[in-house]
């Protein structure tokens, strides 16, 4: 099987799906690796490094897509709508496409993939099981986003994070509040703590209290934490508006005393819940900062504008987009390790076959043999449920 790595075309996307050091991992299991010229340059990986590791450099996208049997991408077409039509024309029936596709937000694109006969695997839908941890690209990228959010907060407030004893007297530490203690939130807590900030954190899931406290942060208890706010897969659920109203009411006192707030609360495929209202922003200290990691899905702050820094009521509100791409070298290394492990598992039975009884394969498969086969995506498209097949395995060709 020929694996192809195209140049990422999404605006300001600097990551690459495969790094040179992992090319031998694929060639050792019988894969040939093609890399479009310049694919890794923005992340710091030269074409010569790929060639040294056994990949072949191809000159343009048409050449790559015409030869590759499987494509590894950071942002597939569903997550890169600006190039859907141009790229879709280059795909052919029977090809595999693996990457981030945003299937629960842009399900309509998968009708196009199905019509084209392309088999797609969306890594956002990896199940939260121990065997899939080494493939979990969302956790890898969230970790980077949390780290960078801490740096953005530290670089934006009008104070230094750490307590310092100077000739001019003692400087008290900045107070930072992290809302949402998933992977991004925990990394933000850890990074801010290393920088010396005084940390507090909140999450609707009571199970994360121990993790928060192990990183040196105080866990804020609002008497709202409940197991019902978490799915069986470990993701946050959408709660009703009364829950969020009460949450904002209780949280406002904590928000008012902080110098920097990092919000990370998101629900897969849904608009981010508004946790900080304009009224709460008005009550914050002059010169405070909000870094809203949920900006891409609407934002946790009512005043967030995706991709912009807004100044309102003396508070700076930053809505950064695609933070992992701002640290492309290590983000690419982590992403590449995840996707390579996924490919090894996917093609363990040979180049054209994959095991549909494997939960990892089954849950991430969106289109196959001209059909949208993923139940969640079919429901979003208004399509009837597919009849379950009885065969233990199916050919992926």
Catalytic residues: 128, 133, 136, 139, 235
In this structure, the dihedral spanned by the alpha carbons of residues 264, 269, 271 and 275, taken in order and rounded to 10 degrees, is -30
User: What CA–CA distance (Å, rounded) separates 207 from 195?
Assistant: 26
Q: DSSP character for 301?
A: B
CB atoms inside a 10 Å sphere around CB 214:
11
Nearest to 260 by CA among 314, 222, 315, 323: 315
Contact 112, 84 (CB under 8 A): yes
C-alpha–C-alpha distance, residues 305 and 286, integer Å: 20
Task: State whether residue 193 is helix, strand or coil.
Answer: helix
Contact 15, 8 (CB under 8 A): yes
Buried b (16+ CB within 10 A) or exposed e, 15-26: bbbbbbebbebb
User: Can you spell out the DSSP letters for 352-380?
Assistant: TEE-TTSHHHHHHEEEETTEE--HHHHHH
């Amino acid at each position: 099987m020929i694996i192809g790595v195209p140049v990422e075309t999404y605006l300001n996307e600097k990551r690459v799906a495969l790094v040179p050091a992992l090319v031998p991992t694929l060639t050792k299991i019988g894969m040939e690796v093609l890399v479009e010229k310049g694919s890794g340059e923005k992340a710091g990986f030269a074409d010569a490094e790929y060639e040294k590791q056994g990949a072949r450099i191809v000159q343009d996208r048409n050449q790559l897509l015409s030869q590759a049997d499987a494509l590894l991408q950071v942002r597939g077409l569903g997550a890169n709508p600006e190039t859907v039509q141009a790229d879709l024309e280059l795909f052919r029936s029977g090809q595999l496409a693996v990457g981030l596709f945003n299937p629960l937000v842009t399900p309509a694109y998968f009708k196009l993939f199905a019509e084209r006969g392309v088999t797609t695997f969306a890594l956002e839908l990896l199940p939260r099981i121990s065997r899939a941890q080494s493939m979990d690209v969302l956790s890898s990228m969230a970790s980077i986003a949390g780290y960078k959010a801490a740096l953005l907060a530290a670089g934006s407030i009008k104070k230094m994070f750490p307590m310092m004893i100077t000739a001019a007297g003692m400087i008290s530490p900045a107070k930072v509040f992290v809302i949402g203690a998933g992977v991004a939130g925990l990394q933000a807590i850890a990074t801010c703590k290393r920088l010396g900030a005084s940390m507090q954190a909140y999450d609707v899931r009571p199970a994360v209290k121990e993790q928060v406290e192990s990183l040196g942060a105080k866990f804020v208890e609002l008497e709202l934490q409940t197991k019902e706010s978490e799915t069986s897969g470990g993701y946050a659920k959408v709660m009703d508006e009364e829950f969020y109203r009460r949450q904002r009411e209780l949280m406002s006192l904590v928000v008012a005393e902080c110098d920097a707030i990092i919000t990370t609360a998101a629900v897969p495929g849904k608009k981010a819940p508004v946790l900080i209202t304009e009224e709460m922003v008005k009550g914050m200290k002059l010169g405070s900062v909000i870094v809203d990691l949920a900006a891409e899905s609407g934002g946790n702050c009512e005043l967030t504008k995706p991709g912009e820094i807004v100044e309102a009521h003396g508070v700076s509100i930053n809505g950064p987009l695609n933070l992992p791409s701002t640290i492309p070298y290590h983000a690419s290394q982590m992403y590449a390790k995840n996707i390579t492990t996924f490919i090894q598992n996917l093609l363990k039975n040979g180049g054209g076959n994959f095991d549909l009884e494997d939960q990892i394969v089954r849950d991430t498969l969106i289109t196959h043999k001209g059909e949208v086969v993923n139940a969640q995506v079919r429901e979003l498209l208004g399509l009837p449920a597919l009849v379950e097949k009885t065969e233990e395995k199916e050919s992926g060709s």
